[in-house]
Amino acid sequence: MAGIVAARAVARRGAGLEFGVATPDDDAAVRRLLRQGVLPGRVRVSFEREPDASLAASIEGDRHDVLLARDAVSRDVVAITMRSERDVFVNGEVARVGYLGGFRVDARCRRLRSVLHDGFAFCRSRDPGPNSGMLLTSFVADNVGARRLLIDRRTATSPVFAPVSALTTFVLPVRRSKRPSGPGGALTVVAGTDNLLSEIAECLQRNGARYQCAPVWTEADLRSPVSTRGLAAEDFIVARRGSKVVGCGALWDQRAFKQVVVQGYSPGMAAIRPIVNILSPFGGVPLPPIGSVMPFAYFSHVAIDGDDPDVFDAVLAEGLARARSRRLTYVVTAFAAGHALREAVSRRWRHRHYETVVHAAYWPGTRGESMARSFDGRLFHFEAAVL
């Protein structure tokens, strides 16, 4: 509580804002700001969390806070950001890392610099002094405004934002997707079961340890209705050679608690949208109506021994077939720069894609800085479904 009081005192001296952690009473205001925040681009979307923002928060980490700024006079919530923490692999060992995202500011707010300055001070107060950990965050690669605001013109209270890896998010159409020729070696692809969850967790951990920042998934996590809300054992696709699990992935439909809503199209995209949709049955990605929830699921929990592209193809093909049977239109997955499976998707599968850059955020002289500077030569692997 002392950290909250100190941060509020700073805010009152400056912009007339008070900072705190959202409670259930703030849920409607949080969801309102999420609806207002539209990501620009050829397809403009909002990232929403209906009917209760806490449902989506539970999958992002075992600690999660919505930090908010409130107008000291009107008491209206004028800005939010979300901070979560979870265990990930760093240099092959389990480490605690945070994620900072979901930054939204009310369109009527004219005090953005004050929101950032005092907001970062409050964020730091949640984990003070040299114990402040490393946070990951990501920006769309061509978001010049975010870079200028957070990196080029950082305030005295803001952390350092150091780029660590590019991240490519792939949007794959499920209609008429090709089925690759089956790999050899007596590979079988089966649906997950409760009995296979321990082996799936082992596969995720041994492969995750080969990468930086891959989540540490335990069997308990995979069974949890909170940590993996909406994901059942049978949503996993498992590749086996003989009795050994050599690869896995999962079809994770989060629309019951986390939605991507189409808010508009650029003039050029709007002009060609009818043509794109006419051609989409032949393998393209259709463009849904404005106001609709994008009908997709994540292809998550990807772990392939040796990053064998043929095993990955077999698992992904089964995931797309399942998505088609569930009347989904897209499957979304993401891989960091240099990841062998990024190249496999890019070369072998029809897709659209967009690029983001993941940054490590830390305050100088802290544990977070030490971690951000300690990465060895391993490539990165981020789980898009929980970012």
Q: What is the domain partition of the chain in residue ranges?
A: 2-131+139-158, 171-355
The two three-digit tokens of residue 295, written as one number: 């009908």
What's the one-letter identity of residue 354?
Y
Is 21:123 a contact under the CB 8 Å cutoff?
Answer: no
CATH superfamily of 171-355: Gcn5-related N-acetyltransferase (GNAT) (3.40.630.30)
Topology agreement, domain 2-131+139-158 and domain 171-355:
yes
Contact 177, 320 (CB under 8 A): yes
* 265 within 8 A of 181, measured Cβ to Cβ: no
Per-residue confidence of the chain (387 residues) as pLDDT tens digits? 222 223 333 333 345 899 999 999 999 999 999 999 998 888 999 999 999 999 999 999 999 999 999 999 999 999 999 999 999 999 999 999 999 999 999 988 878 888 999 999 999 998 888 988 999 999 887 777 777 777 777 788 999 999 999 999 999 999 755 555 555 568 999 999 999 999 999 999 999 999 999 999 999 999 999 999 999 999 999 999 999 999 999 999 999 999 999 999 999 999 999 998 898 777 667 889 999 999 999 999 999 999 999 999 999 999 999 999 999 999 999 999 999 999 999 998 989 899 999 999 999 999 999 999 999 999 999 999 999
pTM for this entry? 0.90
Which fold is adopted by the domain 2-131+139-158?
Aminopeptidase (3.40.630)
Reply yes or no: is the peptide bond before residue 215 cis, omega within 30 of 0: no
Give the model confidence (pLDDT) of 355-368 as tens digits: 999 999 999 999 99
**Amino acid at site 304:** I
Helix (H) or strand (E) holding 334: strand 330-336
Largest CA distance in the chain: 69
Kindly state the helix (H) or strand (E) to which residue 15 belongs, with its residue range: none
Angle at alpha carbon of residue 105, lines to 83 and 31, rounded to 5°: 70
DSSP 356: E
Q: Which phi and psi angles does 164 have, rounded to 5°? A: -115, -30
